[in-house]
A and B are shown apart, each in its own frame.
Chain A
Amino acid sequence: QKEVEQDPGPLSVPEGAIVSLNCTYSNSAFQYFMWYRQYSRKGPELLMYTYSSGNKEDGRFTAQVDKSSKYISLFIRDSQPSDSATYLCAMRVSTGNQFYFGTGTSLTVIP
């Protein structure tokens, strides 16, 4: 079993829709949780970061962490065509140097 599981999609939604992206994980020691956005032929760029459990909001983006269920989510409100990309979740333990990534979910927002 992979440490981090993510549905690869693809996910296709109309412009303005609310998008929900999710990851599950098996290592209860993970403390730092990140969402990266990756456009085609580009490197991943950090979108959201959260520590431990709880919610974090940044504009149209909300990240949620539920450590009891080992489940993290990224919500995108009022989705735009420019949100079309692959979204990668990532996580790490507090003392480790390695990051563990999901396989990524491909999202297309249709105008």
Chain B
Amino acid sequence: NAGVTQTPKFRVLKTGQSMTLLCAQDMNHEYMYWYRQDPGMGLRLIHYSVGEGTTAKGEVPDGYNVSRLKKQNFLLGLESAAPSQTSVYFCASRPQGDPSQPQHFGDGTRLSIL
């Protein structure tokens, strides 16, 4: 039972490069989320999805794009990486229906932009 799996775990990019972070969940959850975690800032929501084919902006969406083509996968894209996007990125998922259900998190992707 893998839960939420994030790929890759570490990555170093140069300014201006692009990349895609992959989040996969095997719990058949409807809702998926992308956060970034920075020292002193806590977890900030980038984008989220309430189902296959749907996405919505969170608190800090600028510079990121997302896609939810399959229910189990949620992709986060950086088109032109900037040093300000150096962070730890967490994906989370939760089921639909019961509003008390919490989020299940992956172990993060550590991204450095030089």
Contact = CB atoms under 8 A, between A and B. Distances in A.
> Is A bound to B?
yes
Interface residues of A, number: 25
Given A41-B108, A43-B90, A98 B58 contact: yes
A40 B40 CA distance: 15
What is the predominant secondary structure among interface residues of chain B facing chain A?
strand
A34 B94 CA distance: 14
Contacts of A98: 45, 48, 58
Contacts of B50: 97
Contacts, number: 52
Interface residues of B, number: 24
Contacts of B99: 32, 94-95
A44 B100 contact: no
B102 A46 contact: yes
A44 B90 CA distance: 9
A97 B42 contact: no
Interface of B: 4, 31, 33, 40-45, 48, 50, 56, 58, 90, 92, 99-100, 102-108
Given A88-B42, A94-B99, 13 more contacts: A6-B42, A36-B105, A42-B107, A43-B92, A43-B105, A44-B43, A46-B102, A97-B56, A98-B45, A99-B33, A101-B43, A101-B44, A104-B42
